[in-house]
Amino acid sequence: MGRKVHPIGFRLKAIRDWNTRWFAEGNRYRNLLHEDFAIRRLIRNELPSAGISRIDIERFPNQVQVTVWTSKPGIVIGRKGATVKGLRGHLRDLTEKSVKLEVEEISDPDLDARLVAENIAQQLERRISHGRAMKRAVGQAMRQGAEGIRIEAAGRLSGSEMARTEKVWDGQVPRNTIRADLDFGQAEAVTTFGQIGVKVWIYKGEVLPQKQAATDVYISE
């Protein structure tokens, strides 16, 4: 069995930061961790068609700040802010704390691995050919400026009797390079033949350390 490392966790504190930022000890850590899972589950269940990529959670004394990254901010906000107000109320009841909810827009959904994986999964549920859906996603990502993309679909593809894995890629996808800005996402399609898993890697270039400007050095005469 291969030793698999999550592409995002592999790059933490090198070029990426945590999606959840807080500190706790003992039983409080366990309770807050399960609360984070409940917050993300609630938001995704309330807004299944909002194109949510990730949810950042940051905690302060008696306050929880939640940032929702979405490709469709209009659906999250709702008419005159009704949807976001209702969602904030549900989160307040869940956490029993003051909740600050912010909505950030994703300008290029074709370069977001989670959204690309969900889009392919939705097409598979509508009985669109997996090869066609994967090749279309690869072409759109490369046209939007990606330096590389890799897509894997596994399961009973096209209703085959035996599960298999198919891969489509274009460009370069350096999965073992820490400085590589590699976005990763996965989704599942529930079909009549069973579940089909979709994994997407999108390479956007290298993140190089910034050079510090040289300061004037005083030399005594």
Residue pLDDT, tens place only, 46-81: 998 889 999 999 999 889 999 999 999 999 998 888
Tens-place pLDDT, residues 92-138: 999 989 999 999 999 899 999 999 999 999 999 999 999 999 999 99
At 66 the pLDDT is: 95
C-alpha to C-alpha distance for 140 and 43, rounded to whole angstroms: 28
Answer yes or no: are the C-beta atoms of 198 and 120 closer than 8 Å: yes
pLDDT at 88 over 60: yes
CATH 3.30.300.20 corresponds to the domain 9-105? yes
pLDDT category, 207, cuts 50, 70, 90? confident
At 1 the pLDDT is: 47
How many alpha carbons fall within 13 Å on the CB side of residue 81?
6
Parts of the chain belonging to CATH 3.30.300.20? 9-105
At 211 the pLDDT is: 62
pLDDT at 218 over 60: no
Which of residues 3 and 160 earns the better pLDDT score? 160
Q: Which CATH architecture has domain 109-206?
A: 2-Layer Sandwich (3.30)
pLDDT category, 217, cuts 50, 70, 90? low
Parts of the chain belonging to CATH 3.30.1140.32? 109-206
Beta strands 63-70 and 98-105: pairing type? Answer: parallel
C-alpha to C-alpha distance for 207 and 85, rounded to whole angstroms: 37
pLDDT at 215 over 60: no
pLDDT at 214 over 90: no
Type of residue at 94: L
∠ Cα 96 48 99 (to 5°): 20
Q: pTM score, two decimals?
A: 0.86
